[in-house]
A and B are shown apart, each in its own frame.
Chain A
């Protein structure tokens, strides 16, 4: 009895303090203290600036920053490159905190290494948006990513559907032990189990580049005379597969892939039946936008899952029409604008 009275008293106290808390028009997003005023300084803590995907991602960041500059919301963008070294990335985020930037957008070089420094940034009221490669800590403003499991699931469903649930397939994975690669593969598993008619001939694990995929596929072609489908789970793997098969004069079966420009061009040229999705480069730009909106007092959800944009035989021409705007070894991402970002963040 005594316990429950105490409990009630505690509950009343909690309710009381909540009522007494200053009334805010909107619930603020995490880390936001409301003491930072525009124009904001944005820090982009990149893990590695050399890969084309990263360069394109940085392109969307600078583009969104330019748009926000026109509205007087951002006045400065600071860029660091950790050269693939998570220890450097800690140092650089620390420097951003020391320099008192208002927002930090980060692609993490390690899911654990940045936890403490990101928590420190959050404590100082810096809006932290983490995109693509995520950290474990929840002490930040927003995490933004696509769902890698869904990636693998939808790709497997396309193959199952095109083959009518019957046929011999090869699965092409990214490197073993990398979370994106493992998660995509895990997403495909239930679909394969539900379609026992799909026989997995073999699987490859290579870097997400065309050359190693081409090499792996070339040797597999000698072993397997009948291949009905290729479940390729990303990067430039599918382009490598097509080049290998084409060189041996093999018929190209239905296949999946990512929005790698060369793959999309080969798809059109060889008139494939194919499917592709992407890790949109504008996740970077969206990160900047979300952080700035959070600083502006908007309520940003702690996790934003970006739906996977799908490329299929119905809309591939729209993508290829824009191919000239993208580097030859780059990724043709779906179009974006700030209105779409508002929608994704649930702001309109």
Chain B
């Protein structure tokens, strides 16, 4: 009698399949991190790690936000604009007192969740292509940011900036918390339905998963993360800037794709995307310490991205 594999065994096989393509990325990442630490030994201290993770953190957040949406087979071109909106809202709403700061941050993230949820609703219920809906919403959200603050300005409380972007690796801690929260979420029905709806929407639907709700939730969480990245950038820079997030859209997609996230949904992991964003961040620093001229920086970036993707593809073929 053939034995039916247990649920745990099936899950382990799934996880293995998901991680297999990422080994190349993790090896490359380890090499680059070692090279960076060798070139800049100051990295290996609390303050060094703190400073490095601070600059990486916003990219990591938007990479997670982008991955959530891409896992559902979508794409979010409004992430950068949402970060910009987050910075101007934070620089306007966050008060000097602890309570004022808490309320301001909550309000900013809530607006991000609402904006993401709205976009997700349009995508999920009207069946419009995500690329069009989020392109349009990037203009709407970007315009809203410019309405709140036509020019960079506003301020953030000094203690908050010191706390989030000071000499302690607060950013790294928050990132770990977010990754833990994602694991916890995946153990809940909502998390499972996000996973399932991304992997196989038809199958999930037949199994009773509310696919539309899962999609909306993914966009809403993504919007909240992007707005929180805005809060962080505002704390990092001490002010709001409506346009500062725009380059992050492309970076978030690059990081997600480097991390093995596919364009058709279901393929990829959050931790892969975080690794992808880390690769982008380390690359900027390593190229600086190697003393490469700007032209070489462009070439190197392109080569590394192609190499990371190529290794993945070769492994997939071999498998």
A residues neighboring B (CB under 8 Å):
46, 49, 78-81, 83-88, 90-92, 94-96, 98-99, 110-116, 136, 177, 179
Contact = CB atoms under 8 A, between A and B. Distances in A.
Dominant secondary structure at the A interface? mixed
A81 B300 CA distance: 13
B237 A114 contact: yes
A116 B51 CA distance: 12
Interface stretch (B111-119, B169-177, B280-288): B280-288
B237 A115 contact: yes
Interface of B: 40, 42, 48, 51, 55, 58-59, 146, 150-153, 161, 165, 233, 236-241, 243-244, 247-248, 251, 281, 284-285, 288-289, 291, 293-295, 297-298
Nearest to A112: B239
Given A94-B55, A110-B152, A111-B152, A80 B244 contact: no
Contacts of B243: 110
B288 A116 contact: no
A286 B58 CA distance: 34
B285 A87 contact: no
B237 A83 contact: no
24 contacts: A78-B288, A79-B293, A81-B297, A85-B251, A86-B244, A86-B247, A87-B59, A90-B237, A92-B288, A95-B40, A98-B48, A99-B289, A110-B152, A111-B151, A112-B237, A112-B238, A113-B233, A113-B239, A115-B238, A115-B239, A116-B236, A136-B153, A177-B150, A179-B151
A49 B241 contact: no
Candidate in B237, B251, B289 with the most chain A CB atoms within 10 angstroms: B237
A98 B240 contact: no
A115 B152 CA distance: 12
Nearest to B165: A116
Given A49-B294, A81-B294, A113-B241, A91 B152 contact: no
A90 B236 CA distance: 10
Contact of A78 (B48, B244, B291): B291
A94 B55 CA distance: 9
A49 B292 CA distance: 14
A91 B153 contact: no
B80 to A, nearest CB: 10
Nearest to A182: B151
Candidate in A110, A111, A177 with the most chain B CB atoms within 10 angstroms: A110
Contact of B285 (A46, A49, A91): A91
Contact of A98 (B40, B153, B244): B40
Contacts, number: 91
A87 B150 contact: no
Nearest to B83: A87
A45 B4 CA distance: 61
A124 B298 CA distance: 30
Contacts of A95: 40, 284-285, 288-289
B246 to A, nearest CB: 8
Given A87-B244, A90-B236, A90-B237, A99 B288 contact: yes
Candidate in B152, B241, B285, B289 with the most chain A CB atoms within 10 angstroms: B152
Nearest to A81: B294
Nearest to B59: A87
Contacts of A84: 247
Contacts of A80: 288, 294, 297
Nearest to B247: A85
A135 to B, nearest CB: 10
Contacts of B146: 177
Contact of B294 (A46, A110, A115): A46
Contacts of A94: 51, 55
A112 B240 contact: yes
Contacts of B40: 95, 98-99
A83 B297 CA distance: 10
Contacts of B58: 87
B55 A87 contact: yes
Contacts of B161: 116
Given A116-B161, A179-B151, A92 B239 contact: no
A131 B97 CA distance: 36
A91 B36 CA distance: 14
Contacts of B248: 85, 87
